[in-house]
Chain A
Amino acid sequence: MVADVAISVESVSKRFKLAEDRASSIKELMVSRRRRNAESGFWAVKDVSLEIPRGTTFGLVGHNGSGKSTLLRLMAGIHQPSSGRIEARGRISSLLELGSGFHPDLTGRENIYLNGAMLGLNKKHMRSIVDEIVDFSGLHEFIDQPVKVYSSGMYVRLGFAVAVHVEPEILLVDEVMAVGDEEFQRRCFDHMYKLRRDGATVVFVSHSLSMVESMCENAAWLDHGSLMEVGPAVEVCQSYLTQVNDAEAERISAEQAELDAGREVELTGEHRGSGEIRVYHVDILDPQWNRIPHARTGEPLRIRLWYDAAVPIDNPRFSFDLFQEEGVHVAGATTQGQIETGKIEAGQGFIDFAVPKWPVNPGSYFVGVAVTDGEGLHTFDHVDRIIAVKVAAGGSSDRGLVRIDGAFEPPVAHEVS
Chain B
Amino acid sequence: MRAQVQTIWDSRPLIGNFAQRELKARYRRSILGWAWSMINPLATIAIYTLVFGVIFKAEPPVAGNGSTRSFALYLFTGLVTWNLFFTMVMGPMDWLAGVADLLKKVQFPPDAAIFGGTLSGVVQSLIEAGVLLVIMIGIGNVGWTYLLLPYVLATTLLFGLGIGFVLAIANAHFRDIKHLTGIALNVWFFLTPIVYPPSLFPEEYAGLPAAKLVHLNPMFQYVEATRDSVYVLSWSGGLRLLSLGLMAAVSFVVGWTFFVRHSVDISEEL
Contact = CB atoms under 8 A, between A and B. Distances in A.
Contacts of B104: 78
B105 A114 contact: no
Interface string A227-247: 000000000000000000000
B40 interface: no
A106 interface: yes
B57 interface: no
A120 B10 contact: yes
Contacts of B6: none
Given A16-B268, A79-B268, A101 B17 contact: no
Interface string B84-115: 00000000000000000011111110000000
B267 interface: yes
Interface in A349-395: none
Given A78-B267, A117-B13, A92 B105 contact: no
User: Interface SS of chain B: helix, strand, loop or mixed?
Assistant: helix
A58 to B, nearest CB: 19
A292 interface: no
A114 B264 contact: no
B141 interface: no
A121 interface: yes
On chain A, which size bracket covers the interface?
A: 20 to 34
B-side interface size class = 20 to 34
A94 interface: yes
A97 B105 contact: yes
A17 B267 CA distance: 12
B13 A78 contact: no
8 contacts: A17-B268, A77-B107, A78-B107, A92-B107, A105-B28, A113-B17, A118-B106, A123-B13
Given A118-B108, A123-B16, 20 more contacts: A16-B268, A17-B268, A78-B105, A78-B106, A78-B107, A78-B267, A79-B268, A94-B106, A96-B106, A97-B105, A100-B105, A105-B25, A106-B21, A106-B24, A113-B17, A115-B106, A118-B14, A118-B102, A121-B13, A122-B12
Which 10 pairs of residues, A with B, have the shortest CB-CB distance? A77-B107, A100-B105, A117-B13, A101-B106, A117-B14, A117-B17, A118-B108, A122-B13, A101-B105, A78-B107
